[in-house]
Amino acid sequence: MAKEEKKKAINRLKSMYPLRGKINEAYLKSAEAMAAGKPTVWGMLNFYFGDPILKAMDVEVVYPENYGAALAATGVARQYLDYADADGFPTHLCGYSRANFGYTSKMMKELGGKIPAEAPLGGMPKPVFLMGSTAVCDARYKWFQALGRYMDVPVWTFEAPAPGVKEMFMEGSYERMVELGVENLKAFVEFVERLLGKKMDWGRLDETVDLMIEVNHVWHEINEMRKERPCPMHSRDFWSAMSPALFLMGELKDTLECFRAMQEEVKDRLENKVGAIDNEKYRLVFAELPPWHSLDFFDKLAERGWNFVVESFGYRPPMPMNLSGISDPLERITRFSLQVFSGYYKDALEQNIPAGSFAYPYLKFAREWRCDGALLHPLISCRSASTHLPYVSDMLLERLKVPSLTIEGDIVDLRLFNPEEALAKAEPFEETMNYYKDMRKQEGFDW
């Protein structure tokens, strides 16, 4: 008699799989593009700023940050880190950058530009240019600048303004941010046209931007539905499905249909009170970058009744905004991209929280998604994803009586995350969450 398969603790959405599949498709497509002599760009996550431009111009983009996670998960990163060390890059640098330095060093210095045989997902071909961004951290443009040691490839650095919360509401301040973005994009289009010798199809850009906005609007609506009890979609599905929206992967009309299918599936679960886990005892918010290499850790927590209902500010679609009155696609792109980080500023100002992006959003998440606890995952070599976490922990406890559990890890050194040790903390943290649940009741909170 066949052995009964153990029921999985997390009910994964069927509609997630086609979206996740687009990640592999994107890498294969770029390998095909390279083989066909088409240009490929290495890009930083640029929060909808440069990607629509390149999509409209039919330029393949691969993302070394993403690829770093693949290198880590497949165990290939280790040797590349050794190359980076040997080349004199300090070891505290972003693990993804170090893995990429090693990959590039091997590809260019040893293999004359050929992709290393051990590179997963078909590797990343030598790019025609590097698309950096000042968004989120210094590494995301300094890294690409440092690649000049290995490749004589130009670097474009996008500006991503990061004003203070109250400063942004000073007269003219936001308009100047928009002006910066539009002028930056105009210059970028001109740069790409010059480099590739092809002109922008502005009609196609218009359509791409509209699709980008619609895809992310649907994605936003899906995540809003997770406020309900039981939460119909687990964070694992968020992380699996997010890439096509965040990186504009695949054919956008098809991506939109995939997200609409997900929207229907999640609605259906809500109507039938089907949760992402069978017995939702605790609702959690997760910050910031997940342990990509050990996501089954969440299955163990799901067995205990932990449903992760909201997560990862840095990956979320921007809060909806009405851009219908704006005809210039570059301005629509700019305002949409700015919304990612500054969309929470008004709330943050009202709540008197100066940390308007990265930190304040977690206050909103915990309150609106009715979280019992936060799981915070600082990463030793990713300071941009970790610095805000002590403040988040303080803020959640002080303002909402929501406690946090901190479990350390790293983006490439997988030895630093110990799932067994982390799971051992689960039971004591459940007691803490129960305690604060009572305390919230006493203080008049409605969850």
Partner 1 sequence: MADKNKGLGKLGEVFHGRSQRVRELKKEGKKIIGYPCAFVPAEIITALGFVPYRIFGDMKESVTEADRALPASFCPVMRSCLDCAFKARDDFVDGIVVAHSCDPQEKTARVWESYIKYPYFHFIDLPGSLRAESLEYFKGQLTDFRKTLESFAGKELSRQTLIAAIQSHNKQRALVREVYELTKPDPPLISGTEILQSVKAVLSLPVEEGNQLLSEVIGEVKVRRNGPEKKPARLLTWTSTLDDYDLMDVLESGANVVMDDSCGGIRPFRVDVEATDDPFDGLARYYLKEVTCARTFKEAVLGETTKDYDKDLEKRFGYLRELVRGWNVNGAIFLLVRYCDPFAFEMPGLRDYFSRLGIPSTYIEYDYTEGSLAPLRTRVEAFLETLG
Which positions lie near partner 1, rule CB under 8 A? 87-90, 92-94, 97, 129, 132, 134, 137-139, 141-143, 145-146, 148-149, 151-157, 159, 161-164, 167, 170, 172-173, 176-177, 179-180, 183-184, 187, 190-191, 194-195, 353-356, 359, 378, 380, 383-384, 386-391, 394
**DSSP E strands, 152-305:** 155-158, 282-287
**Least distance from partner 1 to the Cβ atom of residue 333, Å:** 15
**DSSP-based three-state secondary structure for 374:** strand
Distance CA 51, CA 57 (A): 10
**Least distance from partner 1 to the Cβ atom of residue 22, Å:** 30
Considering beta carbons, is residue 243 or 334 the nearer one to partner 1? Answer: 334
Distance CA 400, CA 258 (A): 36
Residue 277 is given by DSSP the state B
User: Please, which residues bridge with residue 10 across strands?
Assistant: 277
Contact residues for 70 (Cβ-Cβ < 8 A; gap 6+):
120, 121
Long-range contacts of 123-127 (CB under 8 A, 24+ apart): 123/31, 124/30, 124/40, 124/42, 124/62, 124/64, 124/67, 125/30, 125/31, 125/33, 125/34, 125/40, 125/62, 126/40, 126/151, 126/153, 127/39, 127/40, 127/41, 127/42, 127/62, 127/151, 127/153
Sole residue written with tokens 């294969």: 28
373-376/282-287 β-pairing: parallel
Contact 68, 99 (CB under 8 A): yes
Considering beta carbons, is residue 78 or 383 the nearer one to partner 1? Answer: 383
**Least distance from partner 1 to the Cβ atom of residue 119, Å:** 22
**DSSP-based three-state secondary structure for 99:** helix
Considering beta carbons, is residue 304 or 364 the nearer one to partner 1? Answer: 364
Considering beta carbons, is residue 160 or 231 the nearer one to partner 1? Answer: 160
Token reading at 136 = 């989120």
Considering beta carbons, is residue 35 or 170 the nearer one to partner 1? Answer: 170
Considering beta carbons, is residue 40 or 157 the nearer one to partner 1? Answer: 157
Considering beta carbons, is residue 58 or 179 the nearer one to partner 1? Answer: 179
Handedness of CA 92, 93, 96, 99 (dihedral sign): negative
Considering beta carbons, is residue 5 or 171 the nearer one to partner 1? Answer: 171
**Least distance from partner 1 to the Cβ atom of residue 164, Å:** 3
Distance CA 235, CA 226 (A): 10
Considering beta carbons, is residue 263 or 351 the nearer one to partner 1? Answer: 351
Handedness of CA 253, 258, 259, 261 (dihedral sign): positive
**Least distance from partner 1 to the Cβ atom of residue 415, Å:** 16
φ and ψ at residue 199, rounded to 5 degrees: -95, 150
